[in-house]
Amino acid sequence: MWDYSEKVIDHYRNPRNVGKIDNADAIGEAGSLACGDSLKIYLKIKDGIVTDAKFQTFGCGSAVASSSILTEMIIGKSVEEVKKITNKDIADELGGLPPEKMHCSVMGYEALEDALKNFDNYTDLDDLRNEEANNQKKEKIVCTCFGVTENMIWDAIKINGLKTVEEVTNYTKAGGACGRCKGAIQDIINTYYKKEASESTLSPAQKILKINNIIENQVSPELRKDGGDITLVDIQDNKVLVKLRGKCSGCKNSHLTLKAFVETTLRDTVDKNIEVVEV
């Protein structure tokens, strides 16, 4: 018997925003009836804000709860904010899901991603359906029992840090029936971590270029929004020497800006051992 949070039980028993929106601005789908779970999400978007969201789902209690809370999470948010929501956020908002039910949160994420793709690229839903049908033909299906593609598995590994075939099954269902695809899933896991390892080993020259690039294109534009700025002075191994400028220079919170923003950004994107020092 699985242990569900009170929030999961509440959203399962009293699902919010069930139904369909006529003239929706974006529609997204995930799963399929043949695989036992399916979700369709409808969005109304005005001036870049999601003003309404509804869903129709066929699935277990966790699928209902994930879809229901997802609609609450996105109504009132900007499209840009909504694009950042992952399956992990859905599960966290529910107070967690049993590992075997994480695939329900993934289904919510995929339906939302599908709807936003539709909103960004298309105004004609017939075009979208044709394009989706073509894409599905092109995308490699790894698990034929559940119709799970290579991209879906890759995304689930990336977002949730999955390391084993069993975890991938919990999050995507792939591998959960005949098991024929388990070898292919293991290959995807191996490829993912091999790629991640090769990307994280930068040569000194590549590292300098990357730090420079992040400061110029990510950190500096953010600081300039508040009248500040930053200049890269030197890089000595993992020590990045910078000069704060504009409103940032002499600001009493400059230490916080350096550590909580500049250093964190460089650690997240380049190397977790980087230390930022003001000179």
State the residues that interact with ligand FES by CB under 6 A. Answer: 143-145, 174-181
Active-site residue, from 104, 143, 181, 248? 104
Closest CB to ligand FES among 89 and 100?
100
Q: Is 35 a catalytic site residue? A: yes
Active-site residue, from 35, 143, 181, 248? 35
Closest CB to ligand FES among 71 and 169?
169
Q: Is 143 a catalytic site residue? A: no
To ligand FES, the closest distance from the beta carbon of 124 in angstroms equals 34
Q: Rounded distance, CA 269 to CA 263, Å? A: 10
To ligand FES, the closest distance from the beta carbon of 174 in angstroms equals 5
CB proximity list for 124: less than 8 A, separation 6 or greater: none
The alpha carbon of residue 88 and the mean position of all alpha carbons in its chain are separated, in whole angstroms, by: 8
CB neighbour burial string for 190-225, b if at least 16 within 10 angstroms, e if fewer = eebeeeeeeeeeeeeeebbeebeebbeeebbeebee
Closest CB to ligand FES among 43 and 148?
148
Closest CB to ligand FES among 179 and 221?
179
To ligand FES, the closest distance from the beta carbon of 143 in angstroms equals 3
Which residue from 96, 111, 145 is spatially nearest to 30, judged by alpha carbons?
111
| Residue 46 structure tokens | 């005005």
Beta strands in 64-159 (DSSP E): 141-143, 148-149
To ligand FES, the closest distance from the beta carbon of 270 in angstroms equals 37
